[in-house]
Amino acid sequence: MQTRFILINTSHAGNVGAAARAMKTMGFTDLVLVAPRWANVLRREETIQRASGALDVLKNARIVDTLDEALEGITHLCATAMTPRDFGPPTATPREHFELLLNKERLTHIPRGLEADLAYKNEILPETSELVQAAVAAPERGMGFLFGCERFGMRNEDVYRCHVALSIPSDPQFGSLNLGAAVQVIAYEWRLALGAFPVQSATLEPVLADAAQVAGMLGHLEQSLQAIGFLDPQAPKKLMPRLNQLFNRAGVTQEEVHILRGIAKAMLQNVARPEALTPATALVKG
Amino acid sequence: MQTRFILINTSHAGNVGAAARAMKTMGFTDLVLVAPRWANVLRREETIQRASGALDVLKNARIVDTLDEALEGITHLCATAMTPRDFGPPTATPREHFELLLNKERLTHIPRGLEADLAYKNEILPETSELVQAAVAAPERGMGFLFGCERFGMRNEDVYRCHVALSIPSDPQFGSLNLGAAVQVIAYEWRLALGAFPVQSATLEPVLADAAQVAGMLGHLEQSLQAIGFLDPQAPKKLMPRLNQLFNRAGVTQEEVHILRGIAKAMLQNVARPEALTPATALVKG
């Protein structure tokens, strides 16, 4: 779905850069500034610095004089506003509003036969939800997020034009997010609602040891703990079951089983060479 | 649950201020800086400016030399790290990890009888989830979020100590969030997972008109549309059902019914005074 971020009367250049970066991290690039404080805000040093590489967003950003000029193609307008008003659109959290909106879009715009089919597929095969997303992302619909100026937020007349007032659920005692941070949260929630970017595992997927491998390792360990005099076979208490529980909770991997067996082996070898024993352990052994 | 944000080797003072503000908007106040670039970072002008009132967070923040000194009371460590590594804790998105973690905590730490009771209550009465939160918020558990330095992220040896590597699902082509923005997203997700701050409606809750009131208003409107010559009773087409559908979609309120009836009334009154008709409308009427 076409998505536009509209900043109205922004006064800090750094926030424009931060907004551009926040948008781009979530894959959004359409930025419009309505009557910013600085006419050259897109080229100011602080803007470029805080954009930290999101220069294409700045380059393609438009500056306009009035909100009207920012709304072409946008069919759903979200205010971001905390101030209570006597009148205005309903208030919702981003997460609940996006969920409702996309459900409604899906139910409204997918042909009836396909809809049941998709619901079925989503239940059975969650990965086919791309079809739903494609249906939702019909080109005629556009989402606009409006952000007011840093000190005074949004003007009533701008809020009145919106379909909803999004409220990020922050501490009522200290509720005002930085403008760039608010853009980040909204962009993040909207991206997750539309379908998140996949997260790549930073490491190789570990292979878990099966219960037989864990049991084999525990047997090896038991032998070595007896050899070093820590485990008394006459009074084993619950030492081995306790270790078993610890490794179960951890979900021990095959690689870790090798490491632990290596430790057990080294303990046994060490004990086998009496010269390696300290007098104290020799005493215990004796 | 005790929650601590730990910034390691932070180099930009502004980011420390932004992190403090982001934390405080989500109700978190425990900030520790490990070996920041500037020893006086908590008192620098840029820090205070970007903190924008979160001065208590800065005042109570601790600066320590090593990560070890930052970990007292913290039992669960989350790295925030994007760089692929050959080895390390599992990668997860914040949302899925927090959900799993809190479910696990709940299942592990609530007495069995109470657990079933709570699950039942949550299903029936979502607002009683405070009980679950209280159980989860047992004082002996602590959550720590670790953030590396702006340019190089987290060092391997710090990541290795963590239980999980959280990855914000950003655009793989431009995935690096500003440090303050990342703190904002993590704080936001963690707050929502723990139980969000309530969002206050910015306006009074409107009272929807019932179907009888809508029908009465439509009758009034029909009469006036006939009077002004827009609706031809001989060929009404689907004008009134179309307007009915429009108002149904909008979910018209009682106040709006009053307004619409007022408009209908004014149209009727206007027609009753022939001098108010323009020649053109008089012609249509004729």
Residues A25-58 have pLDDT tens digits of 999 999 999 999 999 999 999 999 999 999 999 9
Per-residue pLDDT, A173: 93
B67 vs B206, residue with greater confidence: B67
Residue B40: name the closest of B63, B23, B70 by CA: B63
**Edge-to-edge strands, sheet with B2-8:** B62-64, B30-34, B2-8, B142-147, B76-80, B164-166, B91-92
Q: Which residues of B touch A22 (CB under 8 A)?
A: 177-178, 181
Contact B97, B167 (CB under 8 A): no
Neighbouring CB atoms inside 10 A of A164's CB total 19
Binning pLDDT at 50, 70 and 90, where does residue A282 land? Answer: very low
Per-residue pLDDT, A138: 44
CA distance B60 to B42: 10
B170 vs A200, residue with greater confidence: B170
Binning pLDDT at 50, 70 and 90, where does residue A106 land? Answer: low
Contact B24, B16 (CB under 8 A): no
ipTM computed for the complex: 0.78
Question: Is the Cβ pair A178, B90 closer than 8 Å?
Answer: no
Question: Is the Cβ pair B185, A185 closer than 8 Å?
Answer: yes
**B82-107 tens-digit pLDDT:** 777 778 888 999 999 999 988 877 66
Crossing angle of helices B94-109/B179-194, nearest 10°? 30
Mean pLDDT, chain B, as a whole number? 85
Contact B115, A233 (CB under 8 A): no
- For the segment A212-234, the average pLDDT, to the nearest whole number, is 95
DSSP state of A86: S
Per-residue pLDDT, A129: 38
**B119-149 tens-digit pLDDT:** 434 443 344 334 334 334 444 589 999 999 9
Question: Is the Cβ pair A201, B83 closer than 8 Å?
Answer: no
Architecture of domain B2-194 in CATH?
3-Layer(aba) Sandwich (3.40)
Per-residue pLDDT, B271: 84
- For the segment A222-246, the average pLDDT, to the nearest whole number, is 93
Residue B88: name the closest of B145, B156, B143, B155 by CA: B156
- For the segment B27-33, the average pLDDT, to the nearest whole number, is 98
- Domain residue spans in chain A? 2-194, 211-285
Question: Is the Cβ pair A185, B180 closer than 8 Å?
Answer: no
User: How large a percentage of chain B has pLDDT more than 70?
Assistant: 82
A90 vs B58, residue with greater confidence: B58
CATH number of the domain located at residue range(s) B211-285 in this protein: 1.10.8
Q: How far is C-alpha A221 from the geometric centre of its chain's CA atoms?
A: 41
Per-residue pLDDT, B86: 76
Per-residue pLDDT, A196: 87
Residue A167: name the closest of A90, A104, A105 by CA: A90
Per-residue pLDDT, A85: 76
- For the segment A224-228, the average pLDDT, to the nearest whole number, is 94
Q: Which residues of B touch A53 (CB under 8 A)?
A: 174
**B163-191 tens-digit pLDDT:** 999 999 999 999 999 999 999 999 999 99
Tell me whether strands B76-80 and A30-34 are parallel, antiparallel or unpaired. unpaired
Residue A5: name the closest of A139, A147, A142 by CA: A147
Question: Does the pLDDT at position B275 exceed 60?
Answer: no
Burial of B151 (0-12, 13-18, 19+ CB in 10 A): exposed
Contact B7, B16 (CB under 8 A): yes
A232 vs B279, residue with greater confidence: A232
Q: Which residues of B touch A196 (CB under 8 A)?
A: 93, 169
